[in-house]
Amino acid sequence: MNYDMPFCEKEFMISEIADAIRKATKRSTAQLHQPVFNGNEWLYLKDCLDSSFVSSVGTYVSEFEKKIAQYTGAVHAIATVNGTAALHLALIVAGVNADEEVLVPSMTFVANANAVSYVNAKPHFIDCSEKNFGIDPILLRAHLEKISEVRNGICINKETGRIIRALVPMHVFGHPCDIIELKEIADEFQIIMIEDAAESLGSFYREKHTGTFGRMGVISFNGNKTITTGGGGVIITNDDEIAESARFLSTTAKEQHPYAYVHTKVGYNYRMPNLNAALGCAQLEELPKILRSKRKLTSEYKNAFSRVKNIQFLDDSNFPDSNFWLQTLLLNENYSQYRDAIIEGCIEAGFQVRPAWSPIHSLPMYSNLPSTKLSNTINLSKRIINLPSGMGLT
């Protein structure tokens, strides 16, 4: 080999990273997250079609809800058309009103802030922890102590005069955040916690499933999530009244009656169709296998990246109870300027890698809202690269 013209550092990193992905996945190309249908999907879908109950009435919906409740350990599960609708509904049922504030991460998918906007409330952005990318409880507490006070059991933002009604932490890429600490703060400041567990089906925190720590939890079954129903979501909760209210509002607020159409509130057509639930029932049977294969992929990546410089691969020593929905590479400080070149290089090499989301507070419709300093979010979001993570890769 001719060493007179060495690769420059950037090209060297691109080729090392692409090589490590090739080595770990044993493929020449890979998508970010492709679903795999190896179980009873065809069988249940055919059964669903044969029954003619393809829409929001049907046995697969209740079966799917029952199985989600069992798996997560929640008392109730209410299946919805997607995770965003579940978040929207959860905020309504929690009683978030117009012109109130909801504490949300900026390091997240845009659906959190959008759901807050749907109820005409204001997102209030909290910075993330460097350790797990979720809302940092230490920063949150210091911030609330500084800017808020609890009057008559209601948390008021002294700077804006608005009520702070809810907190919506998220388990980023499936990695559990400091959810117990966050729940303690929410309780202390009289704020309702709704967990966005959209990405964390199969992730636990101290042996309790993510999404079961707050008043409600929300999980997504979009095509790129750990298991999929095509499109779909669910609200999980232990509260009977909340469950009833969520179910009622998700089915156009129609009163139970043998034939009459009586609606007593402005409801939503948010219930998951039976076809999607049939797919979900089959996918849920595959979940243990999917989780095992993600663990295996994590250890393949860990080996493959062990000698690559200037990066850190986040493995199970960082996140012992994660579902490893998306495998994550963190560029070292000072290498963020290579991120886009690395992403483009990997895509060119056949591997669909992706950056983290643009921080939500930097999007045009969400600038100029209350927030903590967001330096961790800004810094980390420039350094994260998600790797191909689907179960088909092991």
Q: Rounded to the nearest whole angstrom, what is the least distance from the CB of residue 323 to ligand PLP in the complex? A: 12
Count the residues in the chain: 394
The dihedral sign for the CA sequence 358, 364, 367, 369: negative
Binding to ligand PLP, residues 43-82 (CB under 6 A): 82
Nearer to ligand PLP, 192 or 304 (CB): 192
Residue 116 binds ligand PLP, judged by CB under 6 A: no
**Least distance to ligand PLP from the beta carbon of 366, Å?**
15
User: For ligand PLP, which is the closer residue by CB, 108 or 274?
Assistant: 108
User: What burial class does residue 366 get, using C-beta atoms within 10 Å of its C-beta: 0-12 exposed, 13-18 middle, 19+ buried?
Assistant: buried
Closer residue to ligand PLP, CB minimum distance, 245 or 276 = 276
CB of 269 to ligand PLP, least distance (A): 15
Q: Binding marks (x or -) toward ligand PLP, 190..229, rule CB under 6 A?
A: ------x-xx--------------------x-x-------
Q: Which of 72, 108, 237, 323 forms a contact with ligand PLP (CB under 6 A)?
A: 108
Residue 231 or 345: the one with the smaller Cβ distance to ligand PLP is: 231
When the beta carbons of 79 and 155 are compared against ligand PLP, the nearer one is 79
- Interface characters, 156-175, with ligand PLP (x: CB under 6 A): --------------x-----
The whole-angstrom separation of Cα 319 and Cα 174 is 9
Sign of CA dihedral 256, 260, 262, 267: positive
- Residue 179 found at the interface with ligand PLP (CB under 6 A): no
Residue 380 Cβ, how far from ligand PLP at the closest point, in Å? 15
Whole-angstrom Cα distance, residue 103 to residue 135? 10
| Helical pair 274-304 and 59-72, crossing angle rounded to 10 deg | 40
Query: 5: which 2 tokens?
Result: 């013209």
Smallest distance, ligand PLP to C-beta of residue 298, A: 19
Q: Which is nearer to ligand PLP, 14 or 116 (CB)?
A: 116
User: Which residue's entry shows tokens 């080999």?
Assistant: 1
Distances (CA, A) of 284 to 36, 228, 280, 368: 12, 9, 6, 41
Number of H helices, E strands in the chain: 11, 15
Q: Give the residue with the Cβ less far from ligand PLP, 108 or 377.
A: 108
- Toward ligand PLP, which CB reaches closer, 111 or 353? 111
CA 248 to CA 93: how far, in whole Å?
10
CB atoms within 10 A of CB 138: 11
Please, are residues 94 and 194 in contact by the beta-carbon 8 Å criterion?
A: yes
For ligand PLP, which stretch binds (CB under 6 A), given 106-114, 298-306, 334-342, 382-390?
A: 106-114
The answer to the question of residue 233 lying near ligand PLP (CB under 6 A) is yes
**Shortest CB 34 distance to ligand PLP, Å:** 16
Q: How many residues bind ligand PLP (CB under 6 A)?
A: 14
In angstroms, rounded to a whole number, what is the distance separating the alpha carbons of residues 163 and 371? 15
Nearer to ligand PLP, 84 or 322 (CB): 84
Question: What is the three-class DSSP state of 128?
Answer: strand
Place of tokens 């393809």: 54
Closer residue to ligand PLP, CB minimum distance, 201 or 278: 201
Shortest separation between residue 225's beta carbon and ligand PLP, angstroms:
6
CA distances from 128 to 10, 37, 163, 293, 334 (A): 28, 35, 22, 28, 20
Q: How far apart are alpha carbons 245 and 206 in whole angstroms?
A: 30
- The answer to whether the beta carbons of residues 357 and 105 sit under 8 Å apart is no
DSSP class of residue 366 equals G
Site string for ligand PLP, 78-97 (x = CB under 6 A): ----xxx-------------
**Site residues (vs ligand PLP, CB under 6 A):** 82-84, 108-109, 111-112, 170, 196, 198-199, 220, 222, 233
